[in-house]
Amino acid sequence: MKEMNSHKKVMVIGGGIAGVQAALDLADSGVEVYLIERSPSIGGRMAQLDKTFPTNDCSLCILSPKLVEAGNHPCINIITNATVEKVKGDAPHFKVKIKKEPRYVDEAKCTGCGICMAKCPVKIPDTYNMGLCDTKCIHIPFPQAVPAVALIDKDHCIYFRRGKCRICEKFCEPKAIDFNQKEKYIDLEVGSIILAVGLTEFDAVLKDEYGYKIYPNVVTSMEFERILSASGPTQGHVLRPSDAKEPKRIAFIQCVGSRDTQIGNEYCSAFCCMQAAKDAIIITEHLSDVEISVFGMDIRAYGKDFDKFIERAENEHNTRFVRVRVSSVDVDPVNDNPIVHYEEDGHVRKEAFDLLILSVGLRSTPQLRRLSAKLGIKLDESGFVHTTPFAPISTSRPGIFVCGTFSGPKDIPESVIEASGAAGSAGVILSGFPNKEIVVEYPSEIPINDGDRPKVGVFVCHCGINIAATVNVKQVVEYIATLPYVVHSQAMLFACSQDAQKLITEKIHELGLNRVVVAACTPRTHEPLFQETLKKSGLNPYLFEFANIRDQCSWVHQKEPEKATEKAKDLVKMAVFKVINLEPLSKMRLSINKNSLVIGGGLAGVTAALGLAEQGYHVDLVEKESELGGNLRHIPYTLEGEKTGPFLKSLIERVNAHPLIAVNCGAEIEEINGFIGDYKTTIKFNTNSQKYQYSELGMIEPKERKQIEHGIIIVATGAQEYQPTEYFYGEDKKVITQRELEKILAQVNPLRQAGPRKLKVANGKQSDNLIADIDHLSSVVMIQCVGSRDDKNQYCSRVCCSTAVKNALMLKQLAPRVKVFILYRDVRTYGMKELYYKKARESGVIFIQYDKDEKPEVIRNENSLCVEVKEKIMNKTLQFTPDLLVLSTGIIPNSDNKFLSQTLKVPLGTDGFFLEAHVKLRPVDFATDGVFVCGLAHYPKDISETIAQAKAAASRALTVLSKDEIEAEGKVAYINETRCSGCGLCVDICAYRAIELDPEKNIAVVNEALCKGCGTCAASCRSSAINLKGFKDEQILATLAAI
Amino acid sequence: MLKEKRNLMLYKQDFEKFFRLLSETFTIFGPSKTDGSRSFTKIDASDEIAFDYENTKMSLKEFFFPQTETLFFFDTEKNEVKQTDVETNKHDKQNILFGVRPCDAMSISFLDKVFNANNPQDLYYTRRRKSTRIVSFACTNPASTCFCTSVGCGPDSETGADIIFFELNGRYFIKTVTPEGEKTIKSAEKLLNPATKNDIEEKVHLMKTANSNLKKIFDSGNLQKKLDNFNAPYWGKLHRKCLGCGICTYLCPTCHCFDITDEVIKSNGRRIRTWDSCMFSLFTLHASGHNPRPTQKERMRQRIMHKFNYAPKYYGKTFCVGCGRCVIYCPVNMDIRDVMKEIMEER
Amino acid sequence: MNNPYVPMPVRISDIITENEARDIKTFKLIFENKEDEKKFSFLPGQFAELSILGFGECPIGIASSPTEDGFLLFTVKRAGVVTTRLHRAEIGETIGIRGPLGNTYPIQDMEGHNVLIIGGGFAFTTLRSTIKYILEKRNRGSFKDLTVIYGARNPGELIYKDELWQWEKQSGMKTYITVDKGDKNWNPLTLPSPRCPPPYPPPTSGGGQRRGYYVGEGLKEGGRYEGFVPTILKEVAPSPKDTIALICGPPIMIKFTLPILTNLGFVPESIFLSLEMRMKCGIGKCGRCNIGHKYVCKDGPVFAYAELQRLPNEY
Amino acid sequence: MRQIEYEIINTVEKLFADKKIDIFIGYKKGTLSLQTSPYFLSEQDDVRKLVWNSFCSNNLAVFIPRIIPNSKSKESKPVGILCKGCDSRSLVGLIKEKQINRDNLFIIGISCPGIVDRRKILSRLDGKEIIGIDEDADSIVVKLKDGEKRFEKEEYLCESCLNCAHPTPSIYDVLIRGAVYSLQAITPDPITKDFSSKPREERWKIFETEVSKCIRCYACRDACPNCYCKECFAEQTKPQWLGVSKGLSEVIFYHIVRILHQAGRCVDCGACVRACPMDINLRLFTRVMVDEVKERFGYEPGISLKDTPPLATFSADDKQEFMTEPE
């Protein structure tokens, strides 16, 4: 690699969640990022969603902190209104030309105060709200927009059209309006490029049979998101467009623009089933007595906790899932009710609804095609970026990576995983360059002590209408102003906006505030933002208290505004009483050991280890089996038909050859001590493997134990195949699993290709002469969901549908005359896998749906098996006597997950897989810092998903490893030495092993680096000798005394 | 006006009448049978009085110096003192404490030196004290734990009492001790006869017997001198079995240490004084963390010294009346008589 | 009737932060009721209970002199619940006061004599009252020479700084101000010398060698010094003849000052100290502040060293 | 009894002679009849002053954290201590809660026949003065001025002894075996079972009536070996958890928390009841807790040095039915 006098730089194209995540990961690892966004603000589609499944978190609420973080990050340069003009050169020396369209507002000067918006006389359709309502010609895209800078829509501006007006200019105090702004070209030199632009919704007008834009009460799912949203056109009231009345009967039509040969979009859009279920649940929270119908083919609830979510919609939220394809929609002219036509049980039915929502899928656009042409990357037939199963985030041009929906429709967590993965891959390209030096300057902290008179500033947020529509904010503000020590109390439209931060800072300086209370949404998402504001104002960030008057007040008391207002007063009063008693806290700094431990040597572990090593960090890879490869060793080929063997072989060779990777096969974790940045782990080799280690690899001295010191941990321990006990598996040789079938097919395949009729015995030992000649098979039945989605394992194993499709296709290819029947509940070939489902159907594979409560039954006769199944659609019982019964077995969590979970102090979900920190936005992190998860240990997934997640885990780990030190939590437990008797109860119960007894003084001592501030010790201490900083007994009592 | 103390006689059969006459003007408190002579409670009928009790569990002090007393109420929002308890608890009706043992009566005379003396006067105590007459009952059958004669008190001690009763055969020998005592029995004058020589002799004899049953264990005068040795070696040992509880001080009729704290609920508060005990470790703990009496050794010494050395110097009286409550109720049988003996025996 | 437990309302008319650590503040108080002010007649050395409703009371020495009309000064170090609340008070707030309590410095005995005042740290409060009292024009003639030795840990911890600088210049008194450790702005008049060991060990936490202490002729004039109070006292070497010494300071300072005074020839009867104990009632009833048979609140806080020698060493 | 007393004295004498201990905690004759007093014996003192009889009621373990505060060093000689079953259970608790090192104790264990409740006997004497006491294996003979009264021990034992499941010490260095009454220990305790079976309102009433007698002398706390906190919650001022007054709400608060702090720790020695000057039946409430803990967690404190106290551990199977919706 050439030397270059510059630090690491990456261009990220697209400022949606994928782009923002990639940018943040890179920036946190010391890379300077240019985040190019075509629209005036970052956030993408996720910013427009109301809630997210399956947790029903407010979408913008969880996204907004990331946007703000990106907006404030010293390593991220956000360039909005910008497009890529040209990309020259090769990695890591790309030369890029960016074109930035004029905003007509100076970004450096605009404070986002919104006065211009109030004064502007021109109304234009609000694109943020899907055109369902108006905004002004000069506007800030949405209240939480980053950057919070106004822009002028040139096409509608009176000044630009008629040369007069300039009202906005007159009222703009900072003189930010600049009508003379011209487009600008920016030249950048970057080492790598990440393509994070998203797809666009399918234009429902193209499906005119569904009546979109013809009948008023037919809306798209994206429009409906805005209708549901509190900041949307109806302020969160679900009203139908024609008469603004509350609908009672609502229907969703699924797969609009997806799985549709007619319009040429054959893929599945991957998220719409869940989105409809989510919307259904949310609707019932807005409206009572509402009936919801979802018309769709399969319910593709293939993710973590998705099936439970669907069940919730069905059982608790009055939602009916109708498995049909809607043929057309017309309207009742009297009341504008859309009427849905469909065929069920052979009958044509008509059903009228008050509101019809079209679940539109995603598609590529000409714009995206042009962009890929400029970048010189290959697209596939659907107009998506071409990737391969083994390189899911690499494009055809080296150094350019892709994440998010541009490489195929997908949900948020997959996009986030790919984003982190892409950041990691880009990092590998840049490993020869130095990090960008980040110097964040904070003003020196104003010393505050207990004796200083508290001067509290209170900022009460409207949260748009989220709070203000229920709580009388003005009353709260006035009441709070009368409390002792409160010297300032004011309302804010959006306390989280950038201008609000500016204002808080101003007030701190102007009034000498030494305590701040923000009454707003929830501290979970927004506390860090305000703490940062305090820090930048010179105040200790812990002199801050958050009053949750949205989640815990306005949202839950919508129907009692007066009581809600009183409660809000109390909540803010409590916060004031608490903040008065808060004291400055400081965070401990922990130095980071730059070595890593990757547990598990399967595809995920190996990929993650390479991801770290290739960026220059030493890795210890621990695998309990005697060789690397994990489950992938048993998967000979992919759905796309690619052989895994060569890929895996080269991967393992790379790992073994890498000087920074120490491979520890045949080894298990014995003990892990320590915390982020400073772990000490003991691994134990089983005796057999010692020899192996010594003789074959020669890398490790033969010894029974080895101690490793490292800074982070990646959990990639994989999962196991479910071993069926049903359907005579293990008793009858005709009953095999998909994995076994796959092995046979893989052995047959090369022989078959070598020449016709050569095959005699495929696998003499295992399958006897069962497939002595595959051509002799006449029928094969596959049963799906064996060991999945049942009482034992309630989740969907995600990959079995595509595995069945894959093997059915292979079988058909090898022996076209074999009849293949797949008995399924839902065919969950999500995303691009749908193409293979289609192909399977085309090649004659017969799919037969059965119901959960009427599982197929197998009767074993002397020489034959009889499979009986009640076909759901036609409601008929069918019988088969297959030569081979293939069970699509699920994936179950590893049995040693529990041990690891306890050792690492990281949680398992109810299904037994490791539980990530946040299902949507932190899919590879654990709540415990410094520990990451990828691969099957997290949840069942396919090869490319595993690779992406492994790369993501490496990338997330790098945000830690790239730093020399990090800060620990400030709200930690502390011991009052004069009270502690050293009984040791706290030592026993601390889940993080953060407390020890000092043998000299016989008192407990808290290790602040390990303490997570959970407070269990404080609660357990009889002597009240333990307190949690920030939650001291006095502080809590003061809070309680307020009410 | 009373020139000299009068000796009067009351037949037991007239006692009921006597009680009724007195209760017309006074509220009468005494050791009642109903609560097992736990403390002095209001007596409504003469037969409720427990005459044969040894001593109440709670001493008389709580009547004048209750365990919890509101000094005043206040409003934190308005930041003002609302009213004092002295004003709210008007003691319009006069009280009689009937059947007080001489040791308890004497203890009140000590408390008077603390609270009633004009240095400055404690209004809360004074108010109750002024409205109350003490009628004591001489002890004809002292308990084995009594040691009043060792500390300058005795079964027939008159100090602190307004009137003292002696139970003779079939009748009460009544001696008026103070002018208030005279006034107290005014309304029942007709039931009373002057004592005869016989009566007096019988009384003297009775008390002689009682006195002889009480062993004088130590001499409080000598003890005071002995205790001037602040760093005597026995202090290092005596306290060892002491648990540091507050039984001895709370039951003691002369212990009078108190704490002042504020109690607030919402904006309504009161400043209260409550009994405190020098036996508690936090008693002298400074806000700085310094504690001049850090261990039970110093605290035990303080209690003994306060009673037997400091008080004599300060108030001219040993602040112990020998009632024996601390002896009876100490959970580890820390017998103050033993302690005294040990101190006296030292060298 | 006068209820000694009920505080009189006083308004905080000024708050002065005295030290760098900002844990010592002086409160200027003005009586809300004129009658209360008249009743409140005191002499230097006395203290009062400051009261905040809902928080309680704390005994604080009166820092102002009776000759300062119309207000009272209290210098309060933040330590417990009440003092913390007091520190958080704002100007204009009304608090309560009970007093004056305790005895006074022996003002009458001091008349016609030289007065030596030795103070350390924030315990300088009632000594300030005394100094102001003596310096008052109509009183000044009653006393002979006035010598003040005052020390603190460092220049930032000196209290009443403005007055200190004034006293330095004032004729008719000698003022010696010393700090354990100076800073770059602190210009000691004397040169430190490493030969003289400190009179008591330097705090261990600081570690290392201290720069040293002055050795030489007695200090004839006042000025600024670096060194512990006892050292300076030794060098100042005031004559015991006709002199009454008043001491108030941290226990360790007192401990090492007394032998020096004794060596200089001061008799215990002419040395007066002001003591501290945990107090509640302040009027000799609640029974916790006794040292031997003396109540600090009533019989103190000022004790002649001679008397203190007769009392148990339990404070 | 005499024989046992003799054995104790001999053992202690030998311990001093062998320089094994410097101090021994036992009992000596009390100054009141029916009572003994804790005795701190050092080599110079008279070992023959040690007594053993049915009135050795104090739980001597209470002194351990006081005289050896937080000591872990092995340098000093162990403290000798006389232990009944309950005292030893308290010691086990103290060792487990790291208030004393096992090596720092020399325990003379005594199989305890039960302690006679002084108050039960006194209540039968109508205030008559006791002149002398005689004790044989089964009974106490109280000599009065006007004759004698005989009390069968079994009827006059302390409540906690009447239902003691472990009269023999759980840990000891030397065990002196005496006669142990064959009283059948029952869980739950019949008295507290009766209490537990009452409706909640009634239980609360009983609780309120009992604790309203409290004068907050803290003797129950100070007599309890489990109460070794350096600063009891009841007296803390930062924050002040409860007021200092004698008001009902304050005493209720104090007692509830004191009882809760005994959960899984109380060995039912009865020291609190015996210490209380106001005769509050505190054991009624702590024993409920003992039975409850045994039933729920199968745990008896003070029996083993190894097992984990229920409050120091968590199991997913722990009963959770107490988590109910507010009524």
Q: How far is CA A776 from CA A736, A780, A818, B133, in A?
A: 17, 11, 8, 120
Q: What's the whole-number mean pLDDT along residues A586-612?
A: 94
Residue A766, pLDDT above cutoff 50: no
What pLDDT, on the 0 to 100 scale, is given for residue B90? 56
Residue A445, pLDDT above cutoff 80: yes
One DSSP character per residue, D303-316 reads S-SSSPPGGG---T
Q: What's the whole-number mean pLDDT along residues A803-825?
A: 93
The reply to whether C152 and C246 lie within a common domain is yes
Residue C209, pLDDT above cutoff 50: no
C121: domain CATH number?
3.40.50.80
- Look up tokens 């000064």; give the residue: C73
Domain ranges of chain D: 2-117+157-308, 118-156
Do the beta carbons of residue A706 and residue A591 sit within 8 Å? no
Residue A692, pLDDT above cutoff 60: no
Q: A763-767, D124-128, D152-156: which range is least confident on average?
A: A763-767
What pLDDT, on the 0 to 100 scale, is given for residue A751? 61
Contact residues on chain A for D261, CB-CB shorter than 8 A: 1022
Residue A59, pLDDT above cutoff 50: yes
Which chains would you list as touching C if contact means 3+ CB atom pairs under 8 Å? A, B
Q: Dump strand ranges (E) for chain D.
A: 23-29, 36-42, 79-83, 105-110, 130-135, 139-144, 147-152, 174-176
The reply to whether B125 and B36 lie within a common domain is yes
Q: How far does the CA of residue B110 sit from the closest CA of chain C (Å)?
A: 12
CA–CA–CA angle A48, A50, A55 (5° rounding): 130
What pLDDT, on the 0 to 100 scale, is given for residue A705? 87
Do the beta carbons of residue A951 and residue A614 sit within 8 Å? no
What pLDDT, on the 0 to 100 scale, is given for residue C211? 34
The reply to whether C86 and C181 lie within a common domain is no
Across all residues in chain D, what is the average pLDDT? 88
Q: What's the whole-number mean pLDDT along residues C186-203?
A: 47
Task: For A624-648, write each residue's pLDDT tens digit.
Answer: 998 999 999 999 999 998 999 999 9
Residues of chain C in Cβ contact (below 8 Å) with chain B: 1-7, 9, 53-58, 79-80, 83, 93-94, 96, 276-278, 280-281, 283-288, 290, 292-293, 295, 298, 312-315
Q: How far does the CA of residue B333 sit from the closest CA of chain D (Å)?
A: 5
The reply to whether B299 and B320 lie within a common domain is yes
Q: A635-644, A684-693, A944-953, D318-327: which range is least confident on average?
A: A684-693
Amino acid at the residue A559: K
Do the beta carbons of residue D33 and residue D141 sit within 8 Å? no
Contact residues on chain D for A1002, CB-CB shorter than 8 A: 70, 72, 98
Sequence-distant (6+) residues with CB within 8 A of A536 are A442, A443, A501, A505
In total, how many domains does chain B have? 2
Contact residues on chain C for A449, CB-CB shorter than 8 A: 21-23, 78
What pLDDT, on the 0 to 100 scale, is given for residue A756? 45
Domain residues for the domain of C144 are 107-274
Dist CA C102 CA A904 (whole Å): 63
Q: What's the whole-number mean pLDDT along residues D56-63?
A: 94
The span from the first CA to the last CA of chain B, in angstroms, equals: 53
What pLDDT, on the 0 to 100 scale, is given for residue B91? 54
The reply to whether B174 and B38 lie within a common domain is yes
Contact residues on chain A for C22, CB-CB shorter than 8 A: 447, 449, 451-452
Burial class of residue C222, CB neighbours in 10 A (0-12, 13-18, 19+)? buried
Task: Provide the percentage of residues in chain A whose pLDDT is more than 70.
Answer: 95
Q: Contacts from A584-587 at CB under 8 Å and sequence distance 24+?
A: A584/A445, A584/A447, A584/A448, A584/A540, A584/A542, A584/A543, A585/A540, A585/A542, A585/A970, A585/A971, A585/A1029, A585/A1030, A586/A540, A586/A970, A587/A967, A587/A968, A587/A969, A587/A970
Q: What's the whole-number mean pLDDT along residues B100-110?
A: 94
In a domain, C313, yes or no: no
Domain boundary among B194, B213, B232: B213
Handedness of CA B108, B113, B117, B120 (dihedral sign): negative
Sequence-distant (6+) residues with CB within 8 A of A407 are A384, A385, A387, A392, A393, A418
Amino acid at the residue C270: S
Residue B86, pLDDT above cutoff 90: no
* Cβ contact B276–C54 (<8 Å): no
Residue A770, pLDDT above cutoff 60: no
Sequence-distant (6+) residues with CB within 8 A of D301 are D89, D92, D93, D264, D265, D266, D267, D290, D293, D309
In a domain, C94, yes or no: yes
Q: What's chain B's Rg over C-alpha atoms? A: 22
The reply to whether B91 and B234 lie within a common domain is no
Task: Provide the percentage of residues in chain C whose pLDDT is more than 70.
Answer: 88
A1019 touches chain D (CB under 8 A): no
* Cβ contact C94–B79 (<8 Å): yes
CA A36 to chain centre: 21
D241 touches chain A (CB under 8 A): yes
Sequence-distant (6+) residues with CB within 8 A of B122 are B114, B115, B116, C4, C285
One DSSP character per residue, C274-292 reads E-----SSSSS-S--SEET
The reply to whether B31 and B94 lie within a common domain is yes
The reply to whether C83 and C144 lie within a common domain is no
What pLDDT, on the 0 to 100 scale, is given for residue A74? 87
* Cβ contact D97–A1001 (<8 Å): no
Task: For C42-90, write each residue's pLDDT tens digit.
Answer: 999 999 999 999 999 999 999 999 999 899 999 999 988 899 999 999 9
What pLDDT, on the 0 to 100 scale, is given for residue D327? 52
Domain residues for the domain of B280 are 220-345
Contact residues on chain A for C88, CB-CB shorter than 8 A: 450-454, 485
One DSSP character per residue, C185-219 reads T---SS--BTTSPPSSPPPTTT-S----B--SSPP
Parallel, antiparallel, or unpaired for β C223-226 and C243-248? Answer: unpaired
The span from the first CA to the last CA of chain D, in angstroms, equals: 56
Parallel, antiparallel, or unpaired for β A884-889 and A779-786? Answer: parallel
Centre a 10 Å sphere on the Cβ of residue A559 and count the other Cβ atoms it contains: 8
Do the beta carbons of residue A454 and residue A1035 sit within 8 Å? no
* Cβ contact D235–B57 (<8 Å): no
Q: What's the whole-number mean pLDDT along residues D279-288?
A: 92
The reply to whether C97 and C173 lie within a common domain is no
Q: For residue D103, give the DSSP letter.
A: G
Element (H, E) at A324: none
What pLDDT, on the 0 to 100 scale, is given for residue D234? 93
D239 touches chain A (CB under 8 A): yes
Across all residues in chain B, what is the average pLDDT? 88
Q: A681-695, A820-834, D100-114: which range is least confident on average?
A: A681-695
What pLDDT, on the 0 to 100 scale, is given for residue A771? 47
C69: domain CATH number?
2.40.30.10
Give the pLDDT band (50/70/90) at residue A765: very low
What pLDDT, on the 0 to 100 scale, is given for residue A859? 92
Q: What's the whole-number mean pLDDT along residues A246-261?
A: 95
Q: How far does the CA of residue A151 sit from the closest CA of chain D (Å)?
A: 53
Task: For A202-226, write each residue's pLDDT tens digit.
Answer: 999 999 999 999 999 999 999 999 9
What pLDDT, on the 0 to 100 scale, is given for residue C197? 42
The span from the first CA to the last CA of chain A, in angstroms, equals: 66
The reply to whether C158 and C12 lie within a common domain is no
Q: For residue C62, give the DSSP letter.
A: B
State phi, psi for A970 to the nearest 5 degrees: -90, -30
CA dihedral D89, D90, D94, D95 (to 10 degrees): -20
What pLDDT, on the 0 to 100 scale, is given for residue C219? 57
Residue A750, pLDDT above cutoff 80: no
The reply to whether B207 and B294 lie within a common domain is no
Residue D3, pLDDT above cutoff 90: no
Across all residues in chain A, what is the average pLDDT? 90
Centre a 10 Å sphere on the Cβ of residue A467 and count the other Cβ atoms it contains: 28
* Cβ contact A454–C88 (<8 Å): yes
The reply to whether C154 and C23 lie within a common domain is no
In total, how many domains does chain C have? 2
B151 touches chain D (CB under 8 A): no
Across all residues in chain C, what is the average pLDDT? 86
The reply to whether C120 and C92 lie within a common domain is no
The reply to whether B165 and B294 lie within a common domain is no
| 3-class secondary structure, A950 | helix
Do the beta carbons of residue D190 and residue D162 sit within 8 Å? no
The reply to whether C115 and C217 lie within a common domain is yes
In a domain, C112, yes or no: yes
Q: What's chain A's Rg over C-alpha atoms? A: 30
- Domains of chain A, CATH where assigned: 7-101+183-199+364-443 (3.50.50.60), 102-181 (3.30.70), 201-363 (3.50.50.60), 456-581 (3.40.50), 597-718+894-966 (3.50.50.60), 735-892 (3.50.50.60), 970-1041 (3.30.70.20)
The reply to whether B93 and B206 lie within a common domain is yes
Domain boundary among B193, B213, B233: B213
- For chain A, the residue count is 1043
Contact residues on chain D for A1025, CB-CB shorter than 8 A: 230
Task: For D202-216, write each residue's pLDDT tens digit.
Answer: 999 999 999 999 999
What pLDDT, on the 0 to 100 scale, is given for residue C216? 39
Q: Locate all alpha helices (DSSP H) within A363-485, ordered by sequence.
A: 366-375, 412-429, 473-481
Q: A85-99, A365-379, A835-849, A898-912: which range is least confident on average?
A: A898-912
Do the beta carbons of residue A748 and residue A779 sit within 8 Å? no
Contact residues on chain A for D305, CB-CB shorter than 8 A: none
What pLDDT, on the 0 to 100 scale, is given for residue B5? 79
- Look up tokens 């958890």; give the residue: D241
* Cβ contact D32–B338 (<8 Å): no
What pLDDT, on the 0 to 100 scale, is given for residue C202? 41
Token pair in block for residue B198:
């016989």
Do the beta carbons of residue D84 and residue D177 sit within 8 Å? no
Q: A748-752, B335-339, C18-22, D86-90: which range is least confident on average?
A: A748-752
Task: Provide the percentage of residues in chain B whose pLDDT is more than 90.
Answer: 52
The reply to whether C51 and C155 lie within a common domain is no
In a domain, C291, yes or no: no
Residue D44, pLDDT above cutoff 90: no
In a domain, C30, yes or no: yes
Q: What's the whole-number mean pLDDT along residues A734-756?
A: 79
CA-nearest of A842, A426, A1024 to D231 is A1024
The reply to whether B51 and B152 lie within a common domain is yes
Contact residues on chain D for A978, CB-CB shorter than 8 A: 230-231
Sequence-distant (6+) residues with CB within 8 A of B259 are B273, B274, B275, B276, C280, C286, D244
One DSSP character per residue, A193-262 reads EEE----EE--GGG-GGGTTTTSTTEEEHHHHHHHHSTTSTTTT----TTT-PPPSEEEEEEEETSSBTT
Domain boundary among B213, B236, B260: B213
Do the beta carbons of residue A491 and residue A477 sit within 8 Å? yes
In a domain, C156, yes or no: yes
Q: For residue A925, give the DSSP letter.
A: B
Burial class of residue A136, CB neighbours in 10 A (0-12, 13-18, 19+)? buried
Task: For C248-307, write each residue's pLDDT tens digit.
Answer: 998 889 999 999 999 999 999 999 999 988 899 999 999 989 999 999 999 989 999 999
Q: How far does the CA of residue D38 sit from the closest CA of chain B (Å)?
A: 6
In a domain, C63, yes or no: yes
Dihedral class, residue A213 (left if φ above 0, else alpha if ψ from -120 to 50, else beta): left
* Cβ contact C53–B76 (<8 Å): yes
What pLDDT, on the 0 to 100 scale, is given for residue B1? 46
* Cβ contact A988–D231 (<8 Å): no
Residue A197, pLDDT above cutoff 90: yes
